[in-house]
Structure 1
Amino acid sequence: MRFLMRGLLGLALMAVMIGFAGIGAYRLYSVMTAEETVRKRPARERSYSVNVAELVPQTVTPTTTAYGEIVSWRTLQLRASSEGLLVDVASKFRDGAAVAEGELLLRIDPANAEFLVLDAEAALADAQAQKTEAEEAIIGAEQELEAARRQLDLRRQSRERQRQLKDKGYSTAVQVETEELAVASLEQSLNNRLQSVITARKRVERMDLTVKRAQFALEEARRVLRETALTAPFSGNLSEVNATLGRRVSQSETLALLIDPAALEAKFSLSTSEFSRLLDDNGNLIKAPVTVTLQLGSRSLEVAGNIDRAAAVVSEGEAGRTLFATLELDPGTALRPGDFVKVEVEEPQLEQVAVVPSAAVTEGGRLLIVGDGDRIREIRATVLRRMGNEVILTDVPFGAEYVRERLPQLGTGLKVIPRRSGGGTGEPAEPEPGTSPGPDAAKPDPRGDLVALDPERRAALIERLNSSDMPENRKARLLAVLQQPMVPKDVIDRLEQRPGSSG
């Protein structure tokens, strides 16, 4: 009996096992049949939604951005003209003070300079007295010369009478010779008197020169006396002041710098290619307009100007060119020498060019064009300029539509769904079956509140999203949203309220 029961129990277990095996075989057959049915469904071509825009010909004025500094082309070193003590220093003689032209800044002890003036005046008076004495000596010499001439005339007349008396026999030869010797002696005396007159006249000429030298010395002494008082030669601001009342200064010592605030210019450098754009057909530098910007915290100061000249030499180790721009400054400008500024140079206009976002074109100038049937084709354009987030192109098919953002998955021949700016309501449309959302599908509604996430909070939200069991397509869209710099607040609230393991 016990054997029979065991046999029946074995048969029952075997029947249950056979039943479960049949059910498993049926489920396996059903699954395989369903997969074959899915495989037999017709495949749909995958497409992407992309933002497009039209290539429109434009006339653009490119702008080259450079950085430089403010320099002064009129800076004067104020130096001490002579050695001495500072006996007077103006209260405004300080760093940063503004002084007017002709204003007294300081004074050096004038005692030595005043003594030199008195000495020069005495020397001039002595020279003038000697000149007067020489002029009077000429008068005496000329009178003596005239008397000698009259004596010579009388002696010659006496000699002629002696010769006549000798011819008549009333005089001897000795008497005639005596008269001739007397005439010769007077002629010698006349020559001496004449030489005295010449000497006296030359002495007057020498005294004229002595008087002039004395006058020059007096003018020099007075100039030294005037320069003991240091005044501002032009209006400006003081810098590097080094003067204190009672301090002894040496000759030619630098006491301060005087900077003309109206004589400022911008000095900046451009690369060789950027410099070549500012040359005309003859190779001459054009006076291109510039805008100089000084950033003062939250405020910025902009000053207009024009390129004036290029540096005469290229410094060793530098490339490109150093340029100088004159500035149109207002009185009381806040610019100072040494300020670090941004310089924007307006280049000559470019006509018949297209301006596209920098994300739409590669470094080599390759651009994606939406052609017939909304399929992509790639062209190569010529890149003329890169200005921030924009690129200026030429050699492009104007009127055609291009992809504004070049994505890695986009390629030649791919079908896309163009999204034109200004079309529809501006909200992203739901992707059609078989299509993949473009980059705009992951962008938040611009009308919602956007929040900037810190890295830790962003990583926590991404981890919570990855651990959830939501569909993969929704998860991909939300991941794209979380990767944006600004994330909608409602998306953050939903993810934080959603349990990590719930569906």
Structure 2
Amino acid sequence: MASEPRARHWIRLGFVRLILPLLIIALAAGGYIWLTQTGPTPPRADVAERAWRVDTAVVEPGTHQPRLTLTGEVENPDRLLINAPLTARVARLPVADGDAVEQGDLLVALDPADYEPPLRRAEANLADLQAQIQEARRAYQSDQQALEIEQALVDTAQRSLERTLTLQSDELASPSEVESNRDALNQARLALNTREERVATFDARLASLQARRKAAEADVRSARRDARRSRVEAPGAGIITGREVATGERVSTSQALLTFLPRDGFEVRALIPNQRAEPLLRALARDEHPAAEAQLLGGTVALRLMRLGGSASARGVTGLFQFEAPDRSLRPGEVIRMELRMPAMPDTIAVPQSALYGNDRVYRVRDDRLERVAVEHLGTTRVDGTERALIRSGALTAGDRIATTQLPNAVEGLRVQPADDDGASP
């Protein structure tokens, strides 16, 4: 029985130990809440919005000539491949790969010992046939004259035979005389027939000789052409490339010897975007050839757009440019960058390159805030010797001001502070 009061004592003691910490925490929390609600409120500090300082330019729409940057490759479609006209030895080859030559310069010469004998044989055959034709004509004239004589001989032999037969009937001529006169008549007739045959076949024989003469003349022309072609001279100013043989080497007919690139044949092929091709087509239709310029070996060269390629792709159409003054520095396969001066376009705006964001937008400054404006980038142009980006947008009007300072955080509504550049213009 004495243990029951002790047990209740320990229960009360444990309950107090559990409740006391909770009561202390509750009192502390209540005191904190009371202090925060009844204590003085500190003044709030206003954070001022930052204004980014930017330069601006005034929009002035006008007519400008865009400049389109292109990458092209130098080509020479007029290249001339020089082949050997016959089997021969190379006697002279005074040029090397990369040499610049002028009109009339010797490029290659073959050994005359290889082409002169065929030429001499062809000329001799032609001379022989011409002599045969002349002889045939003289023989024809002689046959015509002899034909009358032989006809008279036949008539004489016929009359002699008839007299002999009459005498034989009167027993005044022997049979041997008759046979002798008959043989003479037959021989005269045979000679006459032979002569008539020669006269009748003269035209055919003459035609055959003339045909053979034409063939011989063709052989002579071919041999003379080979002789001329055995010595190759530069047809104009140009460059030598692709030398395939050496002096003293024996070459066969049609074997490649070297390649000649005419200086006037150089051109540049460059891909023009489809959206830029239409104004160029209209200009070419008016027989206008837009100008272009490129940097080549440290110097500026001038070109003209002569025509557009006959086919197009999703990437664009090929433009073919001709050098206005080609020089010795041109080489096929060289890749160059050039600027094409497009036809002038109205209602366009020239702005500093720094005003353009992402190639398709600018920011207008209105009420010290940025406004994003979508634009069409048309290329570049030059204003007072300075390169500017050329854009077009129906949302921009004359007098608008656009930001020309590149801001990495440029967004719609960003607060800016325009610099004092009221006199600035694109």
TM score, norm. by length of structure 1: 0.61
Counterpart among 309, 334, 340 of residue 339 in structure 1? 334
**Contact 2:284/2:307 (<8 A) preserved:** no
**Contact 1:384/1:394 (<8 A) preserved:** no
**Contact 1:55/1:397 (<8 A) preserved:** yes
Counterpart secondary structure, 2:149: helix
How many residues are treated as equivalent by the alignment?
Answer: 362
Structure 1: which amino acid aligns with 2:131?
A
Counterpart among 214, 217, 220 of residue 215 in structure 1? 217
Change beyond 3 A, Cα 1:141–1:289: same
Q: Give the distance between the partners of 2:114 and 2:356, measured in 1 at CA.
A: 79
Counterpart among 257, 260, 264 of residue 258 in structure 1? 260
Change beyond 3 A, Cα 1:381–1:192: same
Identity of aligned residues (%): 27
Counterpart secondary structure, 2:264: coil
TM score, norm. by length of structure 2: 0.70
Superimposed CA distance per residue, residues 475-502 of structure 1 (whole angstroms, 9 cap, x where no aligned partner): xxxxxxxxxxxxxxxxxxxxxxxxxxxx
Aligned-CA RMSD value: 4.1
Specify the alignment match of 1:288 in structure 2: 290
User: Per-residue deviation at 1:367?
Assistant: 4.5
Superimposed CA distance per residue, residues 70-100 of structure 1 (whole angstroms, 9 cap, x where no aligned partner): 112321112222222223333xx21222333
Change beyond 3 A, Cα 1:313–1:352: closer
Q: Give the distance between the partners of 2:328 and 2:46, measured in 1 at CA.
A: 75
Q: Give the distance between the partners of 2:419 and 2:344, measured in 1 at CA.
A: 31
Counterpart among 308, 317, 322 of residue 318 in structure 2? 322
**Contact 2:239/2:328 (<8 A) preserved:** no
Q: Give the distance between the partners of 1:365 and 1:219, measured in 2 at CA.
A: 68
**Contact 2:364/2:373 (<8 A) preserved:** no
Q: Quick check: 1:312 aligned with 2:313?
A: no
More contact order relative to length (CA 8 Å, sep ≥ 6): 2
Q: Give the distance between the partners of 2:274 and 2:128, measured in 1 at CA.
A: 70
Which 5+ residue runs of structure 2 have no aligned equivalent?
1-34, 161-181, 381-386
**Contact 1:310/1:324 (<8 A) preserved:** yes
Specify the alignment match of 1:495 in structure 2: none
**Contact 1:285/1:309 (<8 A) preserved:** no
Change beyond 3 A, Cα 1:131–1:303: same
Q: Quick check: 1:402 aligned with 2:402?
A: yes
Q: Quick check: 1:376 aligned with 2:374?
A: no
**Contact 2:360/2:377 (<8 A) preserved:** no
Specify the alignment match of 1:420 in structure 2: 420
Q: Give the distance between the partners of 1:114 and 1:248, measured in 2 at CA.
A: 16
Q: Give the distance between the partners of 1:406 and 1:99, measured in 2 at CA.
A: 53
Structure 1: which amino acid aligns with 2:401?
E
Superimposed CA distance per residue, residues 117-166 of structure 1 (whole angstroms, 9 cap, x where no aligned partner): 232233234323332332232233212321244467779999xxxxxxxx
1:122-161 residue pairs with structure 2 within 5 A?
Answer: 122-150=124-152
Which 5+ residue runs of structure 1 have no aligned equivalent?
1-27, 159-180, 424-503
Q: Give the distance between the partners of 1:131 and 1:386, measured in 2 at CA.
A: 78
**Contact 2:361/2:374 (<8 A) preserved:** yes
Change beyond 3 A, Cα 1:60–1:105: closer
Q: Quick check: 1:350 aligned with 2:350?
A: no
1:102-121 residue pairs with structure 2 within 5 A?
Answer: 102-121=104-123
Specify the alignment match of 1:74 in structure 2: 78
Counterpart secondary structure, 1:312: strand
User: Per-residue deviation at 1:195?
Assistant: 3.3
Q: Give the distance between the partners of 1:234 and 1:216, measured in 2 at CA.
A: 29
Superimposed CA distance per residue, residues 174-207 of structure 1 (whole angstroms, 9 cap, x where no aligned partner): xxxxxxx9xx999998666433312234323432
**Once structures 1 and 2 are overlaid, which stretch shifts more, 267-276 or 121-130?**
121-130
Q: Give the distance between the partners of 1:367 and 1:231, measured in 2 at CA.
A: 61
Superimposed CA distance per residue, residues 249-303 of structure 1 (whole angstroms, 9 cap, x where no aligned partner): 2221112111122321111112222323423299889622111222x4xxx3211
